[in-house]
Structure formats: C-alpha cells, structure tokens
Amino acid sequence: MSSPERVVEDYLGHLAVERGRAQNTLRSYRLDLDRYTAHLAGAGIGDLAAVRETDVSGFVTALRTGERPLAASSTARALAAVRGLHRFAVREGLVPTDVAAPVAPPALPSRLPAALSVDQVEQLIAGCVADGPTGLRDRALLELLYSTGARISEITDADADDLDQDARTILLRGKGNKHRIVPVGRPALAAMDAYRVRARPTLAARGTGSPALLLNARGRRLSRQSAWHVLRSAAESSGLEPAVVAAISPHTLRHCFATHLLSGGADVRVVQELLGHASVATTQVYTHVTVDTLREVYATAHPRALG
C-alpha cells in the first residue's frame, strides 16, 4: 500500500535532491499536493494505487468551485504538481498506470503581460528617492531589475561578487539552478556604484558579513518580499495613474525589459537567453505586445499596405 502522504514526501525529496528545485518551488508543490491528499482523504482514498482519473478530475473541479475557488492559473499549477506526483509514482513502480495524465487543466484566459512605456518606467524608478543607505539600495534594485530583466528572486539571491562592474555583467541564478550572465546598462551600474560605495558598507556594518549584493537595514540579505515592497512603494510615489499603479506586479520590470528590447528590434532568441527562458515559445508572448510597432512598419514599408 502506498499512502498518498508518503508518496508526496518521497516525490518532494526527489525534486529537492535529484532535480535541484528551488525552495520556493518546493513550497508551492507542497501546498498544492497537501490540498490533493486532503481531497483524497475526504473521498476515503488511502492508497495512491486506488486513485482513478475521475478522482483527479474531481480535485480540479473542487479547486475551481469550492468555498474559496482558485483561479484557472492556480488550478493549472496544482494539477501540474499532481501530474508530476503520479508520473513519479509510476516510475517508482508504486502504481500501475498514470491516471492523472489524461486530465486537462482549465483553459487559461488569453492575457498579455502588462508593460509600461519607457517614460512610465523612468517615472516609476524616479518614484524611488535615492536618499540614505536604503534609498540608494532601492534605486539600485529598480535600475538593476529593468536593466537585466531579472526576476526579483534572482536579484535578491545575487551576491556582491556576482556583479562585475568592469565587464558590466551580472551572474544570475535562475530556475532549476540554471545560471546565466547578463549585461548591465550604464544607469544601473552608476546606481549600483553609488549603493556599493555610499550605502552597502553602512548596512553591512549592522550585520554579520552577509555576501549578498543587496542588504536590508539589519545587514542581512534583502528578501524577495522586501524587494517587492520597494517596487510597490516606488509605484505609489511615482505619480503614475492609479490604474497603472494597480497593475504593477513583481514581474513588471521584467516584462518591460523584454517588450522594450523587442520593440527596439532585438532578436527574440537573444531576449530568450537574457530572460533565461528554456523555450523561445515562452518569450514569444512578448512579440504580441509589440504588434502596434509591427503594424506601423507594415503600413510604411509595404507597397500595398494602404491600397
């Protein structure tokens, strides 16, 4: 007998040790799989081999229609975790068949990433007042996010030695322990130089020698949540329209980085490498954001565009 809870523990251990998944990813998987095992327990199922396709599809339905229904994207993420669990169980010989494979995720709404204009990005960054150690750090953070297209977690995970100011590059540690080196623009380098010379020593003196590039007020590594708070505070102080401020997310500057590069004529495969996407298909969503640019080029360049 293979209890669902036991298989979940083995699966998460496999993801951590053999697949090298990040702690944030493991926490998300655990949350979703705990929901799944609770659903199975409620149905009186104590053996993973007893699960049927209808039980998995019933879990998806419960997530979407329960007392606190999940969005389609969150439900799809939970189903992905469940599918991974069942694939693992089959490979380990714990169950005879993969009953989760045929279950389709809910259809996701077609939604393009929100991207600000270049002027709006400048206004957003200007909303962060570079005054005092934490102010200089905050400006360096926002400049670096926009300059590199990095995820917030990639910047907060960076160490001081990862930024090479002579080569004008930074080493980023992406998902699945995939590392990449990304160029850093001059405005971001200038902001980082001001932070490292005038602010970081002060912050570091309050801690115990953290190697982190970005430090909090106690001299420890700046957390992802604190970095998101910096972005949110800058947005609220920027004077941008309320609707624009409300739409700003942790990925906003990453979206802007990709969109502005493509609008400027960058090759999608280069942008793919800079973003750390495994597939160019993931990056191509940004090409839809620049469709207005494509129309303008077509209208001015094609001989029969206006015919």
142, 128 Cβ separation under 8 angstroms: yes
Concerning whether 173 is annotated as a catalytic residue, the answer is no
Concerning whether 269 is annotated as a catalytic residue, the answer is no
Concerning whether 286 is annotated as a catalytic residue, the answer is yes
103, 56 Cβ separation under 8 angstroms: yes
What backbone phi and psi angles, to 5 degrees, belong to 159?
A: -100, 165
Concerning whether 175 is annotated as a catalytic residue, the answer is yes
Catalytic residue chosen out of the listed positions 11, 36, 195, 286: 286
Q: Provide the token pair at 20.
A: 């090298």
Amino acid 144 reads: L
Catalytic residue chosen out of the listed positions 35, 139, 200, 277: 277
Concerning whether 146 is annotated as a catalytic residue, the answer is no
Catalytic residue chosen out of the listed positions 21, 39, 254, 260: 254
Catalytic residue chosen out of the listed positions 77, 83, 175, 180: 175
- DSSP-assigned letters across all residues of 37-96: HHHHHHTT---GGG--HHHHHHHHHHHHHSSSPPPHHHHHHHHHHHHHHHHHHHHTTSSS
Catalytic residue chosen out of the listed positions 151, 173, 255, 260: 151
Catalytic residue chosen out of the listed positions 14, 220, 232, 251: 251
Concerning whether 83 is annotated as a catalytic residue, the answer is no
Q: Which residues are catalytically annotated? A: 151, 175, 251, 254, 277, 286
